[in-house]
Chain A
């Protein structure tokens, strides 16, 4: 069964005065889908998100939510809610007032607001923090409240602009997991922006990889990882070795797709071990091949046999090829 399209970005273009911007953006987001825009800073991912929220106008193309064009609506009229990177909550309002603000504007009865706020806080594990001010909360707690505040607006599409990038690694992965849980529980449609490929892989149903204002690839995390459509995607997502061929093209191989054997093996690429580093349950081996360095991940059992300066042979079990 074909899922309903919740958000449609059609041939959208937005250019800034300095020439930066995004071009030819076509994305369909289905109901209940978690889509992440991923790319290096300046690739245009936040620009797209801000056009969805109504904080930026588009030059051409259209944005449809539930089949209705929202292109010319201001943020306050759009069925979207945004969670910003930081400085998200209003500092002079308590947690309760922060959450109630949008509901009061909608003229919802006081008692209903109270119940809604309680529900919202419970959803993000922040019950009992109603009377606190944002300044009294940690960064992670503030972002939880911000997510609850956005959810209480009952948006058709929830937009998140690098919401966890200001948090430390441990809290970040915890928040990631909780966001995933909430998204699945409520089955809401989410557009998420990040430059962290691990975050994108962990959270998303589909990832939109962007570079220099254009879409490089749209696909599931598996598709993006296993079959990167371009050399940029291949290098940006995960670790990738590129072996430049004689015709100028690049052969790409993931470190885990390299089998290392000691000594020279007929028909395989030969090299000399540069370093071997234990990274927990696996070992990273760097091998000099000509004037290039190839990275391979092997188990610790295999790594025991291999010492720096050993001559080894490399077998690639899976490769991609990119033209020059």
Chain B
């Protein structure tokens, strides 16, 4: 009897044990190891020097600021464009909106590396656009390569479909009769956007923004292929620290990137937890 009882209590833990072991081995241990490593100094001993390096060294500091700039611009543009696209898909019932509704996720199905290389062949200064312009006797050089513009353009390619998907789902929850009742009360289109649609979806806008922020903060492929040498995105910076054998600095930069991501994770959790008064319902 006793034995059965004990087994019954242990059994659930046995079920999660395999995944827990794997998680510990490939996630928890490396994180803990990197965290420890980040405090180890190259000349021996422990200290914050690896962290200070990224905030005192001008090149490294510029990299952090540059990365945050690129990511923030990406967030603003991607969420902004996606919101309008999602509004169009939700409220327009035309042939074109239905077509776009079917196609807008297509970029998600193209492998990142392929997409980046494809974009490069179109936009680089000797690319498709330049060649076409030369047919008309023009010499259009877009100047999008090896600076932040190209990276942001590529980020939009990757993030607009994703953000639109999230925002379209949020907008689809708004009842048609809510909008119709507002029109019935005399509200124009802008008033409906401001007083109905935005308040009902602002949380989804924040959540979408945090997702876009996090996924772009550590991006590698795009800045590696399209970015310049200085300043660099943090993903590239991390790669070069690692390649040059600065494992402790690489560990410190990983922690810094993790903390930056955490910042938006906090926003995400906060907006998710903070239910507005009207969503609480009865009791």
Contact = CB atoms under 8 A, between A and B. Distances in A.
Interface string B153-190: 00000000000000000000001011011111111100
A135 B279 contact: yes
B48 to A, nearest CB: 47
Given A135-B281, A135-B282, A53 B184 contact: yes
Interface of A: 53-55, 74-77, 80-82, 84-94, 101-102, 105-106, 133-136, 146, 149-150, 153
Interface of B: 175, 177-178, 180-188, 191, 195-196, 199-200, 276-282
B200 A76 contact: no
Contacts of B181: 82, 84, 88-90, 146, 149
23 contacts: A53-B184, A54-B183, A75-B184, A84-B181, A86-B177, A87-B175, A87-B178, A88-B181, A90-B182, A91-B279, A93-B278, A94-B278, A101-B182, A101-B187, A105-B186, A133-B277, A133-B280, A134-B278, A135-B279, A135-B280, A135-B281, A149-B181, A149-B185
B278 A75 contact: no
A76 B278 contact: no
A74 B180 CA distance: 11
B61 to A, nearest CB: 43
Given A88-B177, A90-B196, A91-B200, A82 B280 contact: no
B185 A74 contact: no
For the complex of A and B, list the 7 residue pairs with the smallest distance between their C-beta atoms, beginning with the closest: A102-B185, A87-B175, A133-B278, A84-B177, A75-B183, A135-B281, A105-B186
B180 A76 contact: no
B172 to A, nearest CB: 13
Contact of A82 (B180, B188, B195): B180
A84 B187 contact: no
B178 A76 contact: no
A134 B200 CA distance: 14
B281 A136 contact: yes
Contacts of B175: 87
A92 B199 contact: yes
